[in-house]
Amino acid sequence: MKIPFNRPARVGAEIEHIRDAIHRAKLSGDGRYTAACQAEISRLAGGGNCLLTHSCTAALEMSMLLIDLVPGDEVILPSFTFVSTANAVVLRGATPVFIDIRPDTLNLDERAVEEAISSRTRAIVAVHYAGLPAEMDVLNAAADRHGLVVVEDAAQAIGATYRGRSAGSLGAMAAFSFHETKNVISGEGGALVVNDPRFVDRAEIVREKGTNRRQFLRGAVDKYTWVDIGSSYLPSELVAAYLYGQFEQFDAIQQDRMQTWTRYAEALGGLEALGFGLPHCPDHCTHNGHIFYLIAPTAVLRDRLIAAMKADGIDTPFHYVPLHDAPFGRKVGRSIGDLAVTDDISSRLLRLPLYFGAGEDAERVIERVWHHARLLAG
């Protein structure tokens, strides 16, 4: 029986909520379910103003619009991230400046930020890899010294914390994802949480195609019109209805994922004696069980392990191809240093299947990982 890397799950009243949205005859965005999801996301993210979007990519693009990036500006971000992080910068004509990651948490190396800052730097994007927040105090201090904006790419981090504070509350803005591979899902979907008051009103306008429609609906203006740049970033009520069904079961989802993550950590800890690396979570952080990864001793062994697991019907993919070395990344970005950790980690990392209800599947994954690792590393 094949075990996929991800298996999207319906966990509660998702279908019932979709039927209700249809019954209400409100299928476009910003209806009852959009509002309900925004309230839940705001609560989990520390209370910022939340705007549901059709993807995390859209939320990241909104954040770069809101800080008024122009050609010649620069934004610092890790090379070890998904392309949407950099594309949001490039779409404004600005330059992504790639820095290395830490070898322990795989988050951007906060010690590399100062060297990357120039007179053209406008922002730092902190990616919370595998649902583990980056070192935000250091990043925010650097931003304060240089007058920069910090944006959290919290695509993977709903429910995680840093020094007791929620992911999503740690920067001026934060982008979340509800893609089907995430902890809480709607197929596609995202949200922008705005914590800096400077951006709150304009965020509504940018999300509504550059119009002041939300102000009109609140009665703040007597008509709505085109007042700024923007695009269509709203999801439909059908997407929001499904997502709300997931948020109703948020605690159960998290408990289930953390059980699988913890089972992997306990059962596979002995792989360190064979030269494998496992996830590390600093004491001042909590992660959300989004990804469990292994770092093989060599790139060749990683590739052989992926192939062996695939032959067993188990999907254990790698990621990411470093952006600084991608064809378009070389064309539009620049790098600080040789990014040796990024290159090394990306060549040796693989991810294990992790999804709601993965319990029995995880036991087979553990058994086959041990079997192949002993053979390959021995």
**Last residue of a domain, which of 186, 214, 247?**
247
pLDDT confidence band for 182 (50 / 70 / 90): very high
What would the pLDDT profile of 334-374 be if each residue is shown by its tens digit? 999 999 999 999 999 999 999 999 999 999 999 999 999 99
Whether residue 132 sits in one domain with residue 86? yes
Beta bridge partners, 285, equal 162
Task: Supply the pLDDT for residue 68.
Answer: 97
State the average pLDDT over residues 262-287. Answer: 98
**Last residue of a domain, which of 247, 280, 303?**
247
Whether residue 262 sits in one domain with residue 240? no
Q: What percent of the chain has pLDDT over 70?
A: 100
Whether residue 162 sits in one domain with residue 20? yes
Angle in degrees, CA 162, 163, 164, rounded to 5: 90
Angle in degrees, CA 267, 271, 275, rounded to 5: 165
Q: Is the pLDDT score of 228 beyond 90?
A: yes
Whether residue 206 sits in one domain with residue 119? yes
Q: Is the pLDDT score of 378 beyond 80?
A: no
Whether 362 maps to a domain, the answer reads yes
Q: Are 117 and 103 in contact (CB under 8 A)?
A: no
The two three-digit tokens of residue 182, written as one number: 């995430």
Whether 7 maps to a domain, the answer reads no
Whether 9 maps to a domain, the answer reads no
Task: Supply the pLDDT for residue 92.
Answer: 98
Whether residue 221 sits in one domain with residue 94? yes
Whether 3 maps to a domain, the answer reads no
CATH number at residue 174: 3.40.640.10
Whether residue 125 sits in one domain with residue 105? yes
Whether residue 322 sits in one domain with residue 230? no
CATH number at residue 259: 3.90.1150.10
Task: Work out the widest C-alpha separation in the chain, in whole angstroms.
Answer: 74
Written as one string, the DSSP assignment of 101-126 is: B-TTT-SB-GGGHHHH--TTEEEEEE
What would the pLDDT profile of 230-260 be if each residue is shown by its tens digit? 999 999 999 999 999 999 999 999 999 999 9
Instruction: Please give the Cα distance from 55 to 209 (Å, whole number).
Output: 16
Q: Is the pLDDT score of 70 beyond 80?
A: yes
State the average pLDDT over residues 304-318. Answer: 98
The two three-digit tokens of residue 64, written as one number: 């770069």
Whether residue 197 sits in one domain with residue 111? yes
Instruction: Please give the Cα distance from 15 to 93 (Å, whole number).
Output: 41
Task: Supply the pLDDT for residue 199.
Answer: 98
**Last residue of a domain, which of 184, 219, 247?**
247
Task: Supply the pLDDT for residue 203.
Answer: 97
Number of domains in the chain: 2
State the average pLDDT over residues 71-83. Answer: 98
Whether residue 190 sits in one domain with residue 293? no
State the average pLDDT over residues 299-305. Answer: 98
Q: Are 207 and 62 in contact (CB under 8 A)?
A: yes
Whether residue 227 sits in one domain with residue 126? yes
Whether residue 371 sits in one domain with residue 287? yes
Whether 5 maps to a domain, the answer reads no
**Burial (CB count <10 Å: 0-12, 13-18, 19+), residue 160:** buried
Helix (DSSP H) and strand (DSSP E) numbers for the chain: 14, 13
State the average pLDDT over residues 60-69. Answer: 98
CA 155 to chain centre: 2
Q: Is the pLDDT score of 57 beyond 80?
A: yes
pTM beyond cutoff 0.95: yes
Task: Supply the pLDDT for residue 215.
Answer: 84
The full length of the chain comes to 378
Whether 129 maps to a domain, the answer reads yes
With CA atoms as reference, report the closest residue to 171 among 216, 135, 136.
Answer: 136
Q: Domain range holding 100?
A: 14-247
Whether residue 215 sits in one domain with residue 167? yes
Whether 1 maps to a domain, the answer reads no
What would the pLDDT profile of 10-21 be if each residue is shown by its tens digit? 999 999 999 999
Measured from the Cβ of residue 35, the count of other Cβ atoms closer than 10 Å reads 14
Whether 73 maps to a domain, the answer reads yes
Q: Is the pLDDT score of 214 beyond 90?
A: no
pLDDT confidence band for 216 (50 / 70 / 90): confident
Task: Supply the pLDDT for residue 78.
Answer: 98
pLDDT-wise least confident of 114-118, 176-180, 208-212: 208-212
